[in-house]
Amino acid sequence: MEQSTVSKKSGYVSIIGKPNVGKSTLLNRLIGVKIAAMSPKPQTTRHRILGILTRENAQILFLDTPGIITKPKHELHKRMLKNAVDSAQEADVILFMTDPYGPDELDNYVIELLKDIKKPVICAINKVDAVEKTGLLPLIETYNKMYPFKEIFPISVTMGINIEELLDAIVKYLPEGEFYYPEDATTDKNERFMVEEIIREKLYNLYGEEIPYATAVKVDEFIEKDERHGGVDYIRVIIYVEKESQKPIIIGKGGLKIKKLGTYARKEIEAFLGRKVFLELWVKVHEKWRKDRQFLDRLSV
């Protein structure tokens, strides 16, 4: 008697939506490893980040994207918007994420973009634990009328509500095919990128409203088992700001602020790498870097 074989499924899923709806939080929860920077501040994500989730017969390649905005202010914003739209066009399935407080102007804008992309789209309404359940059915009906979503799920990433059900639905719409990556892979990003993301996250969480947006992070040197520093990894990182007046804000009085930043970042970097590191942070000025195309190319945005 022949054994029945279960076909494998694999494909790309673009997570798209307005800023601050929990896209990166969802990605990190699904993958089980923090690979995307998280912050209460909107537009923390700048790059398109791949998270790889392998189940028994399916490999889901999640693309976390920058939050969609309608009026880009500079070249960085334009590139972030292009990253989001391109990932949706290239994906096999699109996961449109929103919150239970809309739909608002940005939700409408994202849905209009989706109308030009002929892919199966699933809607996930996040943060439903923060609102009355009685309002969810009318909200779901509203979204049903706005776009022919394949399915709509009220979810809470932080509380774990309907996350497994959402995953099952995503797998249902993936194409059949062999896995793209080894089964133990979680991302295609290298260690340098992950170090930069960790430090960027700490900048967003430790500093005021405007400063994080004016900063860029770049690993300048990464030496494994550096004998100059006792055989531990040496990582030199440049934090770029746009104005000379922003440098002392990052550094803080007597260097206390940047020391705190370095301590928090180093602990998380060591946990991620599984080994000790010597982390050195430098602050430099690159005026109007968010408008500088060549500089943004160096940042791989």
Q: Where do the domains of the chain lie, and which CATH numbers do they carry? A: 9-172 (3.40.50.300), 191-298 (3.30.300.20)
Give Cα separations from 203 to 18, 27, 41, 53, 198 (angstroms).
22, 20, 11, 28, 9
> Cα(141)–Cα(146) distance, rounded to whole angstroms?
9
pTM: 0.88
Strands (E), 179-231: 216-226
Q: What is the pLDDT of residue 5?
A: 57
Instruction: Indicate the SS3 state at residue 270.
Output: helix
Q: What is the pLDDT of residue 1?
A: 42
154 within 8 A of 131, measured Cβ to Cβ: no
Per-residue pLDDT of the chain (301 residues; tens, 9 = 90+): 444 456 899 999 999 999 889 999 999 999 988 888 877 776 777 777 899 999 989 999 999 888 888 887 889 889 888 888 888 999 999 999 999 998 999 999 999 999 988 899 999 999 999 888 888 999 999 999 999 999 999 999 999 999 999 999 999 999 999 999 999 999 988 999 999 999 999 999 999 878 889 999 999 999 998 888 888 999 999 999 999 999 999 999 999 999 999 999 999 999 999 999 999 999 999 999 999 999 998 887 7
